[in-house]
Amino acid sequence: MSEEQKFVPEVEEEFEPGGAASIAGAPISWVALFAAICAVTTIIPFYFYVTGGGYVSVASGLFMPLAGQVLGPWAGMIAAFVGGLIGMFIAPGAFPLGLVDVILSGAIFGLAAGLMTKKMRWVFLVWWIVNLALVAFFPYRIPGASAGFGAPVEPGYTLSWTYVFVAFVVWLIFGPLTTNFLHKWAKKGSPIWLQTISLLLYAFIFRSSMQPLWSLPYYYIFKWPHDWAIVDNWVSIPTYMLDWVGSAILALFVFRALWQAKLRRVPGSLVDELSVGAD
């Protein structure tokens, strides 16, 4: 082997966005793979709702967010939606409200996780604003929608969303709008303990960012009074912690495996952004 051959750098390939076999910038084969994984894992309960009425599946808790992180927000959302659509028929307990659940307990999990990139930081800020506005107004303070609910008791109702507000502040401090420490800590080549901490924060932030959009429509559909909403917000926090920890651990292993295997990456996805400039 010649000296030139010895020092030829390894080149990691990326998918060309807009290719004939791609959808939303990701290869159709990968979208189909994640949709299939999500569909199958809807059968497996991750945890049951504290208030009863169904369960959050392993798909919603783990693999739909992973789809957004690996495929990007739009392709991840599509994979999660398709997986949920199939899961609606094979695991009705995970989607008792049918298509509504496919969107709320499927598609938005992939979308929220995928939006946590530097490229999508302004879109994610809008996402946050929408969700925080829902806390402030829907359904208990919107004329018409609030009929039959009654005004929530304050500050109890607002305080029950504390973890959502904390997640927003953490994102503002450590996210791509300011220091971008989340990216620096989780990037390829960082110590595994630092990656773990960062990915745990990623999971805490994206899961909390979608919490109002995920839960408040159910409060409206089932006509929950505000005091039930307060109780649910507090007693369900341990189950949400399972989401945070599980998503972080899964992302840690999958991201590191993808980087080490030198597999192609979807441009603009979180797994791609965290590998750029790391070597």
Mean per-residue pLDDT, 142-160: 81
Point out the least confidently predicted range of 35-44, 48-57, 157-166: 48-57
Q: Which of 230, 232, 206 is nearest to 53 (CA)?
A: 232
Mean per-residue pLDDT, 165-191: 97
**Six-digit token string for 69:** 């992180």
Complete DSSP assignment for 74-141: HHHHHHHHHHHHHHHHH-GGG-TTTHHHHIIIIIHHHHHHHT-SSTTHHHHHHHHHHHHHHHHHTTTT
At 84-120, the pLDDT tens digits run 999 999 998 888 889 999 999 999 999 999 999 999 9
Q: Which of 109, 86, 110 is nearest to 26 (CA)?
A: 110
Domain-embedded: residue 72: yes
Cα–Cα dist 87/81, whole Å? 10
Per-residue pLDDT at 9: 47
Tell me how many domains the chain contains: 1
Domain-embedded: residue 12: no
Per-residue pLDDT at 178: 97
Domain-embedded: residue 279: no
| Residue predicted with more confidence, 148 or 273 | 273
* pTM beyond 0.85, yes or no: yes
**Six-digit token string for 154:** 């304050």
- State the chain's mean pLDDT as an integer: 89
Checking if the pLDDT of 167 tops 60, the result is yes
What does DSSP say about strands 26-27 and 22-23: parallel, antiparallel, or unpaired? Answer: antiparallel
Domain-embedded: residue 100: yes
Mean per-residue pLDDT, 167-194: 97
Per-residue pLDDT at 5: 47
239, with CB counted inside 10 A (0-12, 13-18, 19+), is middle
pLDDT band at residue 187 under the 50/70/90 scheme: very high
Per-residue pLDDT at 150: 76
Per-residue pLDDT at 145: 62
Residues spanned by the domain of 143:
22-273
Answer yes or no: are the C-beta atoms of 201 and 170 closer than 8 Å.
yes
Per-residue pLDDT at 171: 98
Per-residue pLDDT at 4: 46
Of 4-8, 31-35, 49-53, give the range with the top mean pLDDT: 31-35
Domain-embedded: residue 223: yes
Answer yes or no: are the C-beta atoms of 164 and 131 closer than 8 Å.
yes
Cα–Cα dist 116/150, whole Å? 35
Domain-embedded: residue 232: yes
Domain-embedded: residue 15: no
Looking at the chain, the whole-number percentage of residues with pLDDT higher than 70 is 90
Per-residue pLDDT at 146: 61
Answer yes or no: are the C-beta atoms of 57 and 109 closer than 8 Å.
no
Per-residue pLDDT at 66: 98
Checking if the pLDDT of 130 tops 90, the result is yes
Point out the least confidently predicted range of 40-54, 91-105, 207-221: 40-54
Read off φ and ψ for residue 101, nearest 5 degrees. Answer: -70, -35
Peptide bond into 217 cis (omega under 30): no
Per-residue pLDDT at 79: 98
Cα–Cα dist 51/174, whole Å? 34
Answer yes or no: are the C-beta atoms of 178 and 172 closer than 8 Å.
yes
Q: Which of 93, 110, 101 is nearest to 43 (CA)?
A: 93
Per-residue pLDDT at 144: 65
How far does CA 215 lie from the centroid of its chain? 14
Per-residue pLDDT at 140: 86
At 226-242, the pLDDT tens digits run 899 999 999 999 999 99
Per-residue pLDDT at 147: 62
Domain-embedded: residue 8: no
Per-residue pLDDT at 129: 98
